[in-house]
Amino acid sequence: MSGQFGQIVFVIWRESVEALLVIGILHAWLSRQSDPDTVTSGRRYLWSGVGAGLGLAVALAGILLFFAERLPDGAQDYFMTAMVLIAAALILQMVFWLRRRGRTMKADLEAGLDKAAAQARHWGLFVLAMLAVAREGSETVVFLYGILAAGVYALTPTVTAILIGFATALFTYWLLQLGSKRMSWRVFFRVTEIMLLLLACSLVMNGADHLYGLGIAPDLGGTVWDSSFLLDDGSTFGGLVAALTGYRARPDVLSLVVFAGYWVLVLWALSRARPTALPKPKTA
pLDDT tens track of the chain, all 284 residues? Answer: 567 788 888 888 888 888 888 788 777 777 776 667 667 777 888 888 889 989 998 898 888 888 878 888 778 888 888 888 888 888 888 788 777 765 666 666 666 666 655 555 667 778 878 888 888 888 888 888 887 777 666 778 888 888 998 999 888 888 777 765 556 667 777 887 888 898 889 889 988 988 988 888 888 888 888 898 888 887 878 887 888 888 888 989 999 999 999 999 999 988 887 655 545 544 44
Q: For residue 35, give the amino acid letter.
A: D
* Segments forming the whole domain that contains residue 188: 3-272
Instruction: Tell me what pLDDT residue 283 has.
Output: 46
Residues sharing a CB contact under 8 Å with residue 255, sequence separation 6 or more, in sequence order = 205, 208, 209, 248
Report how far residue 29's alpha carbon sits from residue 122's, in angstroms, rounded to the nearest whole number. 13
C-alpha torsion angle, residues 8, 80, 152, 73 (rounded to 10) = 160
Instruction: Tell me what pLDDT residue 44 has.
Output: 84
Q: Is residue 189 part of a domain?
A: yes
Instruction: Tell me what pLDDT residue 2 has.
Output: 63
Instruction: Tell me what pLDDT residue 243 has.
Output: 80
Q: Is residue 91 part of a domain?
A: yes
Q: Is residue 281 part of a domain?
A: no
pTM > 0.75: no
Instruction: Tell me what pLDDT residue 284 has.
Output: 41
Judge contact between 60 and 138, C-beta under 8 A: yes
Report how far residue 284's alpha carbon sits from residue 278's, in angstroms, rounded to the nearest whole number. 19
Q: Is residue 252 part of a domain?
A: yes
Report how far residue 91's alpha carbon sits from residue 165's, in angstroms, rounded to the nearest whole number. 17
Report how far residue 14's alpha carbon sits from residue 85's, in angstroms, rounded to the nearest whole number. 19
C-alpha torsion angle, residues 141, 143, 145, 146 (rounded to 10) = 160
Q: Is residue 141 part of a domain?
A: yes
Instruction: Tell me what pLDDT residue 153 has.
Output: 65
Cα 260 versus chain centre, distance? 23
Q: Is residue 280 part of a domain?
A: no
Judge contact between 64 and 141, C-beta under 8 A: yes
Q: How many domains does the chain have?
A: 1
User: φ, ψ for residue 150 (rounded to 5)?
Assistant: -80, -10
How many other CB atoms are there within 10 angstroms of residue 173's CB atom?
A: 19
Q: Is residue 266 part of a domain?
A: yes
Report how far residue 135's alpha carbon sits from residue 141's, in angstroms, rounded to the nearest whole number. 10
Instruction: Tell me what pLDDT residue 61 has.
Output: 85
